Structure 1
């Protein structure tokens, strides 16, 4: 539904005032800023209430915007500018202060973004199945026990214990690692897993000299690992007026603690190629919540997701560019490593 110019102006003023104050907005509050009489503002607010863009919590109270109003504001009104240079610098300085593995970078990003937004920040590491193979090394721990260390483009590292009945020495393991790397460098883990299965089946029939290499690789990639999820800023939930009810807080804390639910929530946003905003109606069971999410990637197929979770009453003009810029930093970080 397209609103009139006056209705749009009043809705915008209500949304932006409510974001700032978290209080019902009266016609008297808006009139002077809009250059309209209180009666004209009241008339527009009544029309918006009839159309379910506003609601009146109490008979004597002002109006508050509904989820429908926030969606209209996001889709039809809000114009996003670049993140201010000062905040760009803060994100760079705190996320990339020095060397560290990908896990350390993602932990710093969670802490930084939750601190700057005063909301919950959630980051899903890139899925291993979509990551591209860079190198595998086999380390002999003791006879029959081997550590497989798979390094993927972008900095993802997978360590897995592998058992072999046959006695292999360190030279054998180096030889097999070099052989596998020559075949699979630059290919996705998903592609490699399928090829290993085919080659292993063939090698068992033909007594292929590299049968043990295929067996080692098969164990190293035995099953897809769930991506790691990092969460920061859960304490900020209690700072929001919308989340003062115990039941609401408990539901949000359960979501944060249940990794499978977090992954499901983030997966729903992963198809987007840019920042997306999911409101309550897009997230069953999360009444009054909003999720601002963006993918980040070292390569086109290697997606992770960065998101800020908070009330629908978020300062989107600030938070959307911040999420977008933080995702760009993570993408640049991954690309610079390989």
Structure 2
């Protein structure tokens, strides 16, 4: 499906806007865990995990209707279903349950492995070769995050870690498929259709959760739920998938190495959690890995149609 107002953009011309958009997505997502923690103060885990998708789905449906957006071609629905399963259902559910068992900061660092998982899935999907330097930087970033994780959990993964590993595996697949589709459809439509597709599942699950979890919403809890619904589940994906369409899935994914470090900062400032002493060292090492991946020419995206 091509937009009549498309303009061909590619190569180095796409790098700067792609970086800006992808970084905006990373910053948006970095508030997700603190906001979820706030939401859990007044709502049960099932209500938060499913309710965020319902609210976002209603907003997305309204946007699609207001824009009179045509239904995607049949060939796009497999990818949209992957986004729905990974980013709309799987990731929110597993991470919300993990946050009931672990701190925001620890959970954020475990999910710092998401860039590596997304890079692997993305590389397999787009079949484009990356340089050895790129993969060494990706591996170094992942090892750094893993070392930090296990240093905080006494050398063995906890139940929360296992839930988070499941979440990042599902989300990586959803990110890769969404980034691929964003080269053919406007990025906001990719996540919007995924949210709408998930509504037949998320609406009844939210209704059941509200009936059994006895919600006691406070102002902070409502604000947290509103953030994860409007920004984390919808708005952040709009700029994130657009950035991926410029940079390519594999290269853009490495910017998310900064996300857990940003989340650590927010968890200290907003939730008053204690910042681990090794976090600054981890931050410097991870940022160096990001710089290397973004300077690697093999990661540049090919020409594509920019959706206006």
Task: Select the structure that is richer in helix.
Answer: 2
**Larger relative CO (CA 8 A, sep 6+): 1 or 2?**
2
Same fold, TM-score > 0.5, yes or no: no
Q: TM-score, with normalisation over the residues of structure 1?
A: 0.23
Task: Select the structure that is richer in strand.
Answer: 1
